[in-house]
Amino acid sequence: MNSTDTAKTPKGLFIRTYGCQMNVYDSERMRDVLRPLGYAPVDGPEHADLVVVNTCHIREKATEKVYSELGQLKKLKEASGGRMTIAVAGCVAQAEGEELIRRQPAVDLVLGPQAYHKLPEMIARASRAVGDRLETEFDTLEKFDALPKARNADGPAAFLSVQEGCDKFCTFCVVPYTRGAELSRSVDDITVEARSLAAQGVREISLLGQNVNAFHGAAPAIEGGPDWTLGQLCRHIAKIGGIDRIRYTTSHPRDMDDDLIAAHGDTPAMMPFLHLPVQSGSDRILKAMNRGHTAGEFHEIVAKVRDARPGIALASDFIVGFPGETDLDFEATMELVRRTGFAIAYSFKYSQRPGTPAAEMFGQVPEDVKDARLQALQALLRDQQTAFNADQIGQTLDILVTGKGRMAGQVHGRSPYMQAVHFDGPPDLIGQIASVRIIGSSLNSLTGEFITAREAAA
Ligand code: 5AD
Ligand code: SF4
């Protein structure tokens, strides 16, 4: 603990996080920014002096949840005699801006994803009731530069943001509007953060970006030269002492270059798991979505990835009921799923997002048709996931132990394929990689028997 941590009376901080892993990461960084001001996490909004709602705008439901949560917080704020500060962060904040304060006047601050480093000054302004309560400028570079480089790790697996924003403009998606243009961090900055995590016992790093495999960060200062790609970055992070495992998310098929695919084969720290959203199996729909590839090209990428890293687990995202999607188009999606075989996948009903091109397209699909397609797709994906998990029975897997289990004497962790694994073992295994024989499986997790622990890499 440094002196700034103790200088002020602790104030309660509660951050509610919705949406993607980038938001989880951003919430951690907000905690880092607020710590020197004396804010310490509390376990519920009722104990908090500052509540941050870190929001997601990707589907309509996510946005509505925010307004209902803000209604609840208003009551708590009144009960606190107005002492509580309510901040709304994330993509809803970016998209709605001033409208948020108009619809819910209990909101004190609104800050977009590029403004987290400005939280302390915004809080100061709010407490003096002067200045702007809204920060939604796009300045990703300033954010990257201003956030503290060192991190407070929270367990042996950590996220590390390497890239933000997106220039792909898929016709259904709000991200290019809420997160702004694609921008990569420099390799030096990323390295400092990764080393700081490793020094705190982190053994698995998940590199994050809305379009992570479009990464093109400035090369390390000592090497100069052209920007690095994600494949180069992964090999580099793999050399940091203590980092045994690397993942990255979320990728786009268009940016799955040969070097990144090769890195899956030549870098043992790269975990055999790839989340590669495809959205649809119909070429017509993929074109209308502006995805920039066909189903055939997706299959070619999958074949190359499986060639480079046999046994790699694949994950994906799907949207059903995109405007104009016919039964035949949907069947093409089912066919793509059957042919590929996924370890896990996330599927959604198309949600009309104001301001995106697809929202204006003809042929919006009725809700009951979307429902039926989603159910059929999810049943198939569940079967594949159950079968993938059952395939691990009898195998011995390296499990990164991340916490205590719900039952006494149990711990849990994550397999190389991202499965949750529960087994009997002492709590001092937390933070270690354990060899575990898998003895049971279900849709969402595995159970195993502890064999032995591996020491941290030098
Ligand atoms: N409707 C439904 N799903 C969406 N996604 C993004 N935008 C929409 C939308 N308008 C899904 C995509 C993406 C994931 C993060 O959310 O599948 O990969
Ligand atoms: Fe959205 Fe498409 Fe960019 Fe992914 S690639 S963030 S779906 S616009």
pLDDT in tens, 110-132: 998 888 888 888 888 776 665 56
Q: In what order do the strands lie in the sheet with 273-275?
A: 273-275, 313-320, 344-349
Q: How confident is the model at residue 4 (pLDDT cuts 50, 70, 90)?
A: very low
Which ligand places an atom closest to the C-alpha of 276?
1
Q: In what order do the strands lie in the sheet with 134-135?
A: 39-41, 11-17, 50-55, 85-89, 109-111, 134-135
Whole-number pLDDT of residue 149: 67
Mind listing the pLDDT tens digit for each residue in 143-180? 667 666 667 788 999 999 999 999 999 999 999 998 88
Question: How far is the centre of ligand 2, averaged over its atoms, from the C-alpha of 292 (Å)?
Answer: 11
**Which of 326, 40, 279, 317 shows the shortest CA–CA distance to 171?**
279
Q: Is 179 in the pocket of ligand 2 (CB under 6 A)?
A: no
Q: How confident is the model at residue 455 (pLDDT cuts 50, 70, 90)?
A: low
Q: Mean pLDDT over all residues of the chain?
A: 91
Per the model's pLDDT, the better-predicted residue between 231 and 83 turns out to be 231
| Whether pLDDT at 9 is above 70 | no
Percent of the chain's residues with pLDDT above 70: 92
Q: Which residue has the CA at smallest separation from atom 18 of ligand 1? A: 317
Residues touching ligand 1 (Cβ under 6 Å) are: 58-59, 172-173, 277, 279, 317, 319, 348, 350-351, 353
**Which of 384, 389, 387, 370 shows the shortest CA–CA distance to 438?**
389
Strand partners, 313: 273
Whole-number pLDDT of residue 3: 41
Strands 134-135 and 157-161: unpaired
- Please state the atom number of ligand 2 nearest to the C-alpha of residue 166: 3
Which ligand places an atom closest to the C-alpha of 21?
1
- If residue 146 lies in a helix (H) or strand (E), which one and from where to where? helix 140-146
CB-CB contact of 395 with 438 (8 Å) = yes
User: At 23, which amino acid appears?
Assistant: N
pTM: 0.89
Whole-number pLDDT of residue 388: 98
- Please state the atom number of ligand 1 nearest to the C-alpha of residue 174: 7
The DSSP line for 322-384 is -TT--HHHHHHHHHHHHHH--SEEEEEE----TTSGGGG-S-PPPHHHHHHHHHHHHHHHHHH
Q: Is 175 in the pocket of ligand 2 (CB under 6 A)?
A: yes
Strand partners, 345: 316
Locate 280 and state its tokens: 């649809």
Q: What's phi and psi for 220, nearest 5 deg?
A: -60, 145
